[in-house]
Amino acid sequence: MSGIEITTPLHVRRRLRGRRLFEARILPALFLLPAGLFVFGLTVWPVFRAFQLSFTDANLAMFTTGEFNYVGLNQYVSVFTSTFFRSVILRTAVFGIACVALTMTVGISVSLLLNRDFKGRTVLAILVILPWAVPRVAAAIVWQWMFHDQFGLMNWLLYSAGFELFRGFAWFNQPVIAFTAIAIVIVWQSFPFIAVSMLAGLQSIPGEIHDAAMIDGAGAWQRIMNITLPMLKSLVLVLTVISTIWAFKIFDQVFVMTAGGPARQTELLAITTWREAFTQHNFGRASALAMVMFFILAGITAVYLRLIREEEA
């Protein structure tokens, strides 16, 4: 140190030390600041704010007088004692699980198909990705048109195939049938992601393993169930968790296709929360509903993060 002090002029030394301090401490803080502000201000803080509001009776008056009262757990009590809210939560879970099961089945089947050797396979791989790229609102609209009672392609296909019932069949008048139509849209949009991810996984399995199993006399189905899928177990799990999270967040497709009708019977948690906030202006109750959803998804996300960590280890 003393040697440098003699040979390096004082102001150069100060500047170098300043630069080192700047690059080690100030620069990273400065660079993290904007993104940090966005993430904390627009995701972390809102979650706490929603948590706070869920214990209040906040409504439109908070914009004029800025006032709201704390009502303790009342909003949660009214959510869980109302048969309507309870049925919405149950419906969201059942519909979500059904969508995940369908999406995973279709996605994995398509990935197994794409993993076979046939002409036109690369073309099919591109075609399969397309539904993923279509915006959710546009997908809901085009499927609504396909399910049109008078001029819809689906009804025409079905009654041409001999199902007389589908002549002029209304898809959106009964909740179970409307949910079937919505599930088809959801699966259509989410299977490509599963298929593409699974295909990448399938192609990472060495061919020798299959050859060995084939020599041992394992049939195609046995090879898939006993070798391929177990080898990709962690990938299948992660994909299942991701699609479960997506399924619980569904809003756009339902909002466009049925807007929750008929008689609020196809409302899912996200739609009910939105209506409570933006048509009833009951921000307190809506926040309680949102927090119910948050805790369900936080649980699923915790599982997801644990799976990722296991993958790393």
Instruction: Tell me whether residue 73 or residue 138 sits nearer to another protein (CB atom).
Output: 138
Q: Which of 79, 104, 146, 178 is in the footprint of another protein by CB under 8 A?
A: 146
Of residues 55 through 74, those in contact with another protein by CB under 8 A are 62-63
Check binding of 255 to another protein (CB under 8 A).
Answer: yes
The contact mask relative to another protein for 263-292 (x = CB under 8 A, - = no) is ------xx--xx--xx----x--xx-xxx-
Smallest gap, in angstroms, from Cβ of residue 303 to another protein?
11
Residues touching another protein: how many (CB under 8 A)?
93
Check binding of 294 to another protein (CB under 8 A).
Answer: yes
Of residues 14 through 33, those in contact with another protein by CB under 8 A are 19, 23, 27-28, 31-32
56: phi then psi, degrees, rounded to nearest 5 = -125, 175
Q: Which of 124, 218, 227, 229 is in the footprint of another protein by CB under 8 A?
A: 124
From 37-45, 81-89, 211-219, 222-230, span contacting another protein (CB under 8 A) = 37-45
Kindly give, in sequence order, each residue whose CB lies less than 8 Å from that of residue 58, ignoring residues fewer than 6 positions away.
Answer: 68, 283, 284, 287
Smallest gap, in angstroms, from Cβ of residue 250 to another protein?
10
Reference 247, options 311, 182, 302; nearest CA is: 182
With tokens 């927090």, the residue in question is 291
Smallest gap, in angstroms, from Cβ of residue 85 to another protein?
14
Instruction: Tell me whether residue 2 or residue 207 sits nearer to another protein (CB atom).
Output: 207
CA dihedral sign, ordered 150, 151, 153, 159: positive
Q: Which of 99, 104, 108, 110 is in the footprint of another protein by CB under 8 A?
A: 110
Smallest gap, in angstroms, from Cβ of residue 132 to another protein?
7
Of residues 180 through 239, those in contact with another protein by CB under 8 A are 188, 192-193, 196-197, 200, 235, 238-239
Smallest gap, in angstroms, from Cβ of residue 46 to another protein?
4
Instruction: Tell me whether residue 153 or residue 209 sits nearer to another protein (CB atom).
Output: 153
Amino acid letter for position 34:
P
From 7-15, 83-91, 113-121, 205-213, span contacting another protein (CB under 8 A) = 113-121
Check binding of 95 to another protein (CB under 8 A).
Answer: no
Check binding of 300 to another protein (CB under 8 A).
Answer: yes
Q: Is-contact 276 284, C-beta < 8 A?
A: no
The burial class, CB within 10 Å (0-12 / 13-18 / 19+), for 125 is middle
Check binding of 251 to another protein (CB under 8 A).
Answer: yes
